[in-house]
Amino acid sequence: MLRLIFRKILNNKWMVICLIIGCTFAIAVAAAIPMYTSGMYNVLLANEFKKEQEKFNTFPFKASYNATFFGLNNNTSQTIFNDLDNTFYNEYLANMPVTKVFDYKNVTTKSYSMFDEQNYKIKQEKIDKGEQLSTRNLNIKSDFSITSAANAPDMLDIIGGRMFQTSTEEGVIEAVITQLAAAQYRLSVGEYYYIYNKILDVDLIAKVKVVGIVKVNESSSSFFTLSDRTLLIDFDQMQNMIRESRITLQQANWFAAFDYTTVRLGLNESIIKATQALKVSDENSSLILSASNNYITIIDKYSNDTLVMQKVFLLLIVPVILMIGMYVVMISQLMMEREKSEIATLESRGASRNQIFFIYFGQGVVLSIVSFIFGMLLARSLCRLLGAANGFMEFVNRTAIEVKFNEMSIIYAVICAVIYLIMILVPAYKASKYSIVQHKQNISDGSKKSFWQIIFLDVILIGISLYFLYDYESMSEYIQNVQSSSIDFTLFIAVTLFIMGFGLLFIRLFPYIVKFIFLLAKKHWKPAAYTAFTHVARGGNYKQFIMIFLILAISIGIFNANSGRTLNENLEDNIRYSVGADAAFVPATITYNESTGFFDFINNTGTVLLSNAETFCTSDLINNYSVYYYYNTKIKPSDESVTFMGIEPYEFGQVVKLRKDLNEGLHINNILNTLSTYPQGVIISRAIADEYGTQAGQYFNYIYESINSNDGVEENLVVNVLVLAVVDYWPTMTNERFIIMTRENYSIMKDFSDRGRILIDKKEGVLDSAVLADIKGKMSEADTIGNISFVDYEVTQAKKNSILNGMNGILTLDFLISMIICCVGFIIFWIISVRQRVLQFGIFRAMGMNKNELYRMIFYEQLMISFVSIIAGILIGGVASQMFVPLFERMSTMSNQYVPFSTYQDGIDYIRIYAITGLSLIIGLSVLLRFISKLKIDQALKLGED
């Protein structure tokens, strides 16, 4: 049986290879999605923890566990402490799958009365004499608690003396104290102190020697503190005192920090489960337990984001998976068409249908296993492709994300392999049911309608997609008010159904279109054209697969290109709007603060900014620069926040960039020209115009708040201000309420801030790094940059390690795989089609058709099937883009949408699509023509004559 299976594979080796190619791509894409999302999750999470570390200067992945004891005796508190210690180390730390960086625990007693050497002797004399002890004749230093911490020496810096030791003097416990404790309570290094439970108690608890003065070091200050009324002793000695019931615990704390770079998506459940071991309780009046961490919220957020990301990516690959499925079915059917005669012969010789089917089942299993192995290997490369995408068919050199095979990728790959195995076996199962007579009958009945035509699948798919579109648009206003940035998964499904539906509708109408064109000039067609028309019009269903391949590939390519371009350009629009120009920065001056002993970075303001701009921005790398000032305050009577901006109109217009469709299509330079002509006027936002009931050409009054020299709030009245223009959008203005005026007017406004920024317009092709290096190179040692923003850098960072980055990769991957599959399917389909028509070619030659006419006939068939399918794909893709791409506004990944969402189309995207499509067809036609040239037409000619 195995020999027969492998022999059949070898007999159909080219078709088998084509099947393996298709299944390999499908399995690779399916496996790559969870691998990529997992790697992306790890990078995003690591970046988030890194931000936390930079923001708070502490461990970004840490947990603490705290217990407070009230009124418990020594034995009970000791037992509870041991249980909690076991919980923290054996149930929490032992089960945390993340690498531990640091941990410690510390325990603190209640406060005890502490005597110095002199007062201790006075007390002992009174006890020896049998005198009554009284608080009036006994003096203590203060009430001090005793504390200890594991790893304490690692968390402390010694200011004076030394660190405590364990075995020095018998019966003496060494301790260290804070500098403030030494000064405030007059404690000295080298002195002995005596600890009693209460001031009047006779029994001595401990004799303590202060051996050092310490402070908590900077690296530990975020999680460890040392009270000024605390004696810090060795942890082992503390444990011995607890076991001997000499002291009473009041508080215990545990802390652990972990390496956030070792967090992985697959570890989330283990992390959460381990953290749940740290139980919290405040119901018991004698014990309060509290736990805190700074990682669960972040992990939960990114886990949810990853699920959304994975769903989006899976839905984006639906079209290519669908195409590969159709490709596999087509190749399988072509194989079965060649095998039907052999199947019918086997059945006539006594082979059962189960035996015949089992042969093809074994063949399918072998193909699936081989495809699974190659697919899993290819998945890693696809992940790198996804990570390098910067737009549709645009790639940049990024640091590769870590991708590993995980459980979900293997499950997806296995499911995909099983699905395609079924697709391979369905034609085999159908073929196994035919006898020789039935096979001959079906050969002559090639024009029977397909199942999808009978059930009107095309109409159903179009109806569903259009209903979605209608439903979405009817609720668009409500959706915008609810949540404009949510992910609507039905959008992807609707687009696929729309393209598939219209593609099938075109195939349904295609024979009628061909017949109509044929009838228009029926009497004038030459033999080659006449034969091509009749063959295409009456050729049955064999051409449907290749046509739907081309239609889907081109339509989806165009839709993906427009979708990717729209999402990327809108992201850049918002970033460019918020920055205002190619770059914006604020110079600063470094000054030494004598009171703190540190250097301060003070942002430059006022006229200093103007001189800085001239010094730093006069460069061959920069076209123009401009300085603007701004002041945030409130205006009355609306009592709303407003931003005042002072600009020099000509400079400002040379630097800023604003999308042309904003402000009702009025170019910003026209507005600035008006301000130059009437420098006493102002430009106001639509929100202010509506609140004050004013419009362009009118005067209005307002009151603004300012901070006077005494730090008091002062109200200032401004009257008869001419409104030159009312605008909805203005570069850098993320506040919807703003008033724009000239720098001269701004400077005379009472108590206005002279804070500002320098805007830069780079020369074409200049890198951000070159501009930054040029600016820094012109600075003195006392100069620095307070803050700086580059649009290109901000856009790259926004795309990098985000869902948009993955979408760019998936959209590109969809198209590339579609074209590869389409090219391979095109070649296989036409080769088999031509091979099956060798006898027909011989008949045509016998009837007098020469080779050139034969080639011309094949060319006309290609023109009517392939070229027309491409045109249909372009039209369907364009219509789908016009109807569905605007709905991607809800897919916006930006937290703030400053400018309206706009759809984009770029000719370069279409050129890429046409170039790749054309290249695929040229390759296919070249292989096809080479195959035809090797056909032995002369032998077919003899068959035709016979």
- Examine the fold and report which residue of 775, 792, 809 is the final residue of a domain before the chain moves on: 792
pLDDT at 167 over 70: no
As a whole number of angstroms, the distance between CA 87 and CA 97 comes to 16
663 shares its domain with 695 = yes
Alpha-carbon torsion 636, 638, 641, 647, what sign? negative
Looking at residues 331-335, what average pLDDT do you find? 78
Cis peptide before 637 (omega within 30 of 0): yes
94 shares its domain with 217 = yes
- 937's tokens: 């037409």
What is the reported pLDDT for 447?
Answer: 54
Given phi > 0 = left and psi -120 to 50 = alpha, else beta, which region is 606? left
Segment of 44-58, 244-258, 471-485 carrying the highest mean pLDDT? 244-258
pLDDT at 101 over 80: yes
Helix (H, G, I), strand (E, B) or coil at 717: strand
User: Does a structural domain hold residue 309?
Assistant: no
380 shares its domain with 325 = yes
Burial class (CB in 10 A: 0-12, 13-18, 19+), 253: buried
User: Does a structural domain hold residue 300?
Assistant: no
Residues 684, 726 contacting (CB under 8 angstroms): yes
Contact partners, residue 856, CB within 8 Å, separation at least 6: 528, 529
Q: Which residue has the higher pLDDT, 946 or 573?
A: 573
User: Does a structural domain hold residue 259?
Assistant: yes
pLDDT at 942 over 80: no
Looking at residues 874-897, what average pLDDT do you find? 78
Give tens-digit pLDDT for 762-818.
999 899 999 999 999 999 988 999 899 999 999 888 877 567 777 888 888 888 887
Helix (H, G, I), strand (E, B) or coil at 343: helix
Cα dihedral 775, 777, 781, 785, rounded to 10, equals 20
394 shares its domain with 273 = no
745 shares its domain with 767 = yes
Q: pLDDT grade, residue 218 (50/70/90)?
A: confident
Q: Are strands 156-161 and 389-391 parallel, antiparallel or unpaired?
A: unpaired
User: Does a structural domain hold residue 305?
Assistant: no
425 shares its domain with 492 = no
Cα angle value 265/266/269 (rounded, 5°): 100
Give tens-digit pLDDT for 651-687.
999 999 899 889 988 899 999 999 999 999 999 999 9
What is the reported pLDDT for 50?
Answer: 85
Given phi > 0 = left and psi -120 to 50 = alpha, else beta, which region is 57? left
766 shares its domain with 800 = no
Q: How many CB atoms lie within 10 A of CB 138?
A: 17
The domain containing residue 455 runs over which residues? 446-578+793-946
55-64, 437-446, 575-584, 902-911: the lowest-pLDDT one = 437-446
- Examine the fold and report which residue of 792, 825, 840 is the final residue of a domain before the chain moves on: 792
User: Does a structural domain hold residue 217?
Assistant: yes
Give tens-digit pLDDT for 621-659.
999 999 999 999 999 877 889 999 999 999 999 999 899
- Examine the fold and report which residue of 440, 466, 489 is the final residue of a domain before the chain moves on: 440
CA 215 to chain centre: 43
94 shares its domain with 184 = yes
**pTM, 2 dp:** 0.76
123 shares its domain with 165 = yes
Tally of domains within the chain: 4
As a whole number of angstroms, the distance between CA 772 and CA 807 comes to 31
Q: pLDDT grade, residue 484 (50/70/90)?
A: very low
pLDDT at 459 over 90: yes
pLDDT at 590 over 60: yes
As a whole number of angstroms, the distance between CA 685 and CA 727 comes to 5
- 723's tokens: 């409104």
Looking at residues 251-262, what average pLDDT do you find? 91
Q: Which residue has the higher pLDDT, 810 or 620?
A: 620
Helix (H, G, I), strand (E, B) or coil at 171: coil
User: Does a structural domain hold residue 303?
Assistant: no
65 shares its domain with 208 = yes
- The contacts found for 75-79 with CB under 8 angstroms, 24 or more apart, are 75/245, 77/242, 77/248, 77/249, 78/242, 78/243, 78/245, 78/249
Q: pLDDT grade, residue 12 (50/70/90)?
A: confident
Nearest partner of 655 among 674, 679, 680, 672, judged by Cα: 672
Looking at residues 576-600, what average pLDDT do you find? 86
What is the reported pLDDT for 60?
Answer: 85
What is the reported pLDDT for 757?
Answer: 95
What is the reported pLDDT for 936?
Answer: 63
Looking at residues 10-36, what average pLDDT do you find? 85
90-99, 481-490, 610-619, 845-854: the lowest-pLDDT one = 481-490
User: Does a structural domain hold residue 310?
Assistant: no
What is the reported pLDDT for 564?
Answer: 84
Q: pLDDT grade, residue 540 (50/70/90)?
A: low
Q: What type of residue is 707?
A: I
Give tens-digit pLDDT for 827-872.
777 777 777 777 777 777 777 777 788 878 888 888 888 889 989 9
- 882's tokens: 């016009």
Give tens-digit pLDDT for 743-756.
999 998 888 888 99
589 shares its domain with 564 = no
- 605's tokens: 């303001």
363 shares its domain with 216 = no
User: Does a structural domain hold residue 302?
Assistant: no
